[in-house]
A = this chain, B = another copy of it.
Amino acid sequence: MSAIRLLVLGAVRQHGRAHGYQVRGDLEYWGAHEWSNAKPGSIYHALKQLAKQGLLREHETAPSTAGGPPRTEYEITEAGTEEYFRLLREALTSYDQKTDVKSAAIGFVVDLPRAEAAALLKERIRGIEEWRSAVTEHYVPEDGPEQLGHIGEIMNLWLHTADAEAAWTRGLIARIEGGAYTFAGEGEPFVGVLAEGEENPYATEERHPGDAR
């Protein structure tokens, strides 16, 4: 799974009804173009793809009010909502190295009930620990890690990263269980979208210094 499906489904769902440019704006607001493949081409492609698969409903609309070509609006379907929550749960639960999927999932975590979010993250920690011991058992040769030479440093990096992630996840669980943020069914949700006409402080051209990509 690439992060783009989750991102696009989630963004459309938050708006109720959104056109491509709106989705693109939201994802930029999130900084998603920095840490995922949420670039214009991918977003428009994903919208069409998801529509073709019946996860989004397509609405042709009149030429935009603000110049530019006519825009197509999208709305999430029943099936799309199901898929959205499936992807979200999976992304929160399962451990892999893909930073983009994980970041996307954090962005939508409040769409779940608080207790479920915490439970899924605990499941994630279990996954990390299991993966960790599988790697150490599997990749460290019997004759000591020297066998692998500097290649062992790659493994070392993995383990270090996994540990850091486990620590961060524990912190997040604590914050969630401590009552932070507003989750599903807890009243007025926090919506991380741009209001109509609000200017986007983190637009596409935004680059961090030292961010050589």
Contacts and interface: CB of A to CB of B under 8 A. Distances in A.
Interface of A: 30-31, 35, 90, 93-100, 102-103, 106-107, 109-110, 126-128, 130-131, 134-135, 138-139, 148-151, 153-158, 160-161, 163-165, 167-168, 172, 175, 180-182, 190, 192, 202, 208-213
A44 to B, nearest CB: 22
A94 B30 contact: no
Given A30-B151, A103-B157, A126-B210, 15 more contacts: A30-B154, A90-B212, A94-B210, A94-B212, A95-B212, A106-B153, A106-B154, A106-B157, A127-B212, A128-B210, A138-B208, A149-B190, A153-B175, A161-B161, A161-B168
A161 B164 contact: yes
A-B pairs, 10 with minimum CB distance? A164-B164, A94-B212, A149-B190, A127-B210, A130-B210, A160-B168, A150-B181, A134-B208, A151-B192, A131-B210
Contacts of A94: 210, 212
The interface centre, meaning the residue of A102, A131, A211 with most chain B CB atoms within 10 A of its CB, is: A211
A42 to B, nearest CB: 15
Contacts of A153: 106, 109, 172, 175
Contacts of A106: 150, 153-154, 157
Contacts of A158: 35, 103
